[in-house]
Each structure stands twice: as C-alpha cells, then as structure tokens.
Amino acid sequence: MKNILMLLGALSITFGIQACSHAEVDKKIDQKLSEESNVKTRSDLRGEAAKAIQADASLTDEQKARLNALRDSVRTQDEALHTQSLQLRAVLIKNLLSNDYSEKESAQLKDRIRKIEEKRVNITFDGVDKANKILGHKDITAHREIMNNFFEGSGSRE
C-alpha cells in the first residue's frame, strides 16, 4: 500500500509538471502560429513544406527524397478523401433542400463525412509519425504503451 501511495505521489508531481509545461508549449505554439501568415491555402502549405525540406541543410539527400515521397503520398490520400467529403456534402445539401427530405439519410451522410474527416486526420498524423522516423526523432508511442500497460495492469494486483 505504501508503494502505491508513493507511486501515486510521484505520478501527481509528474502530471503537475506536465501541466505547467503544457501551458508553456501552448504559448510557444500560439506564437509560432501568429507568424504563419503566409499559409492560407493547401497550395501555400505544399510550397512551404517543399521549401522547408529543401532548405534544411541538416537533412541528407535520402531523407529529403523520403520526406518528399511521404509528403506526396499523404497529399494524394488526403485529396482523394477530400473529394469524397465534398461529394458527400453536396448530397447532404441536396437532401436538405429536397421535398423528399430524409432525416435518416442526413444522419447517415453526416456520419460518413465524419468518418472520412477522421481518416484524413489519421493520415496526416501517421505521416507525422513516419516523418519522425525518417528524421530519427524519438518515438513516444512505445512510452505511451508502457504507461497504458502499467495503469491497466496496476488494478489487477489487489
């Protein structure tokens, strides 16, 4: 019991420190976001990404090639899903304006749009994870799994 209390105390301190650093990171992100006035469209983002990859002298030619290929792959997948989302939205609008309006159809269309948008976000985040591996950044996924396994397993000891 004493060990559990010590562990909980240590975790409380850790989470308290993380909360403070979370606010600091938010502030830093907000500052960087305010400096991104050049990016207003997808085309702007593509151009900025390409320039950033090519301008980074610390990247090897292989890393640049892999990052560019990854960027192209993510963009292709995202554009296909974006097109599907737009088409579903058009059907939703037409359903809303139809004399034969169907609430069930609208609900199903909204659900399909939501799922497609979730896929788009997941593709982006998967791309970030793959870019981290290309760049040699530390993968925190393993740490999350360790913490999840720890907390899931901790309740079974009683």
Supply the pLDDT for residue 143: 54
Percentage of residues in the chain having pLDDT higher than 70: 75
pLDDT tens profile 59-82:
999 999 999 999 999 999 999 999
The residue among 16 and 46 whose pLDDT is bigger is 46
Give me the residue spans of the domains in the chain: 1-35, 41-157
Q: Which two tokens stand for residue 10?
A: 């240590």
DSSP state of 37: T
pTM of the predicted structure, to 2 decimals: 0.68
Contact 88, 116 (CB under 8 A): yes
Residues with Cβ within 8 Å of residue 91, at least 6 apart in sequence: 109
Question: 67 exposed, middle or buried (CB, 10 Å; 0-12, 13-18, 19+)?
Answer: buried
Confidence of residue 158 (pLDDT cuts 50, 70, 90): very low
Q: How far is CA 2 from CA 87, 128, 155, in A?
A: 59, 41, 15
**The residue type at 118:** E
